[in-house]
Structure 1
């Protein structure tokens, strides 16, 4: 069987434990190319570097593999550089973004550089996954997420129609040992969103500065949602796409259009 060519990226940087554990798990079943930021780029969403240059360097990763680090690049920058240059003569069969430090559930995906990288892969015609672990600890169970992803990668029928459906898989994994997982479940994006806050401080020179943070509320009670699945020890798989249209509201507004006059 021909080995898959997989492009791996993330938003936590090329040295993060998540991407390294993913590489360790997949290196024996696929040919891997790693192109990732050289530093933490979380919550950069789908941003591109328009002003400034993007140097790139080949670096040894903690897992022993060699990867490309894009200096100060965003996840989307990394995907474009990989597809438009590094892999242009032999495009990847699959793009995997992750494993992210922290879950990407509900409204998180609007901020997520991890999910944005997968969506950029989709727009470039590459079947793509985003993968996140429900832990912000560097010592989290990334091996659990890596093994779950490997199972999905090896089940080609599961994702062979993603491109024609114009969708990616957003995969979230509980932070528990692999043996404690209760299985896979197909979910929808929930409504869970961080409760953001802004803390204001004043420097000794009387200048104001701010710290932005957020607290995640409890999981949802809807059993079809991604956050519910994580709370009950299941791997959440949500098909999502770039179309943000509210179709129910679209139809209602069309009926009301006659009332809108210039």
Structure 2
């Protein structure tokens, strides 16, 4: 039986990266579903639209749009409703325009799509195409196009259980210069990268990442993708409890 694959993203159903993800999925399976937001949901994290009615529109066979929905909303709708009695084996989220590295995964709608997929019992894989923002904000998708299928296939073959999801970032170097896949930890920044950023409009502001907090760890996802030219894969746990600390604290916290 062919893998059943569900695709979502956080850049919106018409974003160029989701078309690349569909090409990856169709090379893996002939049973591919798309359930994606109607517009940009970058930074939405794992927001779920509790208490708000959502609308599903069907575009074509196995291709749906959730109006106003987040990536997590889309995965819930797909896995528990649209795909019927057989939910997806794999949830692919992306390909995002721009890297999702380090602590940024905590707010990433792309990562949340894969996380909700894993929580629903699938292999969840988030994919992002890195951008060299020091040069340009334009996205060169060639690395994701070239190496996305092999990366997805390798993760699916190696995945054990459903206690993890996988965060993938493609470097912005020439695909021929990509050095391989590196399985690395995410970068813990010295502080949150998010900052108040004033707008040119009086009384308004943005939440932005004006600079990357330093120092950076040489073996982290950030430097391994950006500086070393690897496709980075970071396995992330759904069980977020620090079990060692929980054991140490057990019996020591009292009222």
Sort the TM-score into its range (normalised by shorter chain): 0.7 to 0.9
Question: Which residue pairs with 1:24 in the alignment?
Answer: 23
Question: Which residue pairs with 2:38 in the alignment?
Answer: 38
Moved more, 45-54 or 243-252: 243-252
Residues 107-118 of structure 1: pairs in structure 2 closer than 5 A:
107-118=103-114
Question: Which residue pairs with 2:229 in the alignment?
Answer: 233
Q: Is 1:93 matched up with 2:92?
A: no
Residues 1-262 of structure 1: pairs in structure 2 closer than 5 A:
2-30=1-29, 31-59=31-59, 67-135=63-131, 139-155=138-154, 158-163=157-162, 166-192=163-189, 193-199=192-198, 203=202, 208-217=203-212, 221-231=216-226, 232-254=228-250, 257=252, 261-262=254-255
* Length-normalised TM-score, structure 1: 0.84
Contact kept in structure 1, 2:41 and 2:71, CA below 8 Å: yes
Q: Distance in 2 between matches of 1:178 and 1:108?
A: 24
Contact kept in structure 2, 1:152 and 1:158, CA below 8 Å: no
Q: Distance in 2 between matches of 1:96 and 1:174?
A: 18
* 5+ residue gaps, structure 2: none
Contact kept in structure 1, 2:89 and 2:121, CA below 8 Å: no
Query: 3-state SS of the aligned residue for 2:125?
Result: strand
What is the deviation of 1:244? Answer: 2.6
Q: Distance in 2 between matches of 1:156 and 1:212?
A: 33
What is the deviation of 1:197? Answer: 2.2
How many residues are treated as equivalent by the alignment? 248
* 5+ residue gaps, structure 1: none
* Length-normalised TM-score, structure 2: 0.86
What is the deviation of 1:22? Answer: 1.6
Query: Which string of whole-angstrom CA distances, capped at 9 and with x for unpartnered residues, describes residues 110-136 of structure 1?
Result: 111111111111111111101111127
Q: Distance in 2 between matches of 1:43 and 1:118?
A: 14
What is the deviation of 1:251? Answer: 4.3
What is the deviation of 1:190? Answer: 1.4
Residues 20 and 93 from structure 1, CA distance in 2 versus in 1: closer, same or farther, beyond 3 angstroms? same
Q: Distance in 2 between matches of 1:219 and 1:20?
A: 35
Query: 3-state SS of the aligned residue for 1:154?
Result: helix
What's the RMSD between the two structures over aligned residues?
2.5
Consecutive aligned runs of 4 or more in structure 1 exceeding 6 Å deviation: none
Larger Rg: 1
Moved more, 166-175 or 21-30: 21-30
Query: 3-state SS of the aligned residue for 1:42?
Result: coil
Residues 33 and 138 from structure 1, CA distance in 2 versus in 1: closer, same or farther, beyond 3 angstroms? farther
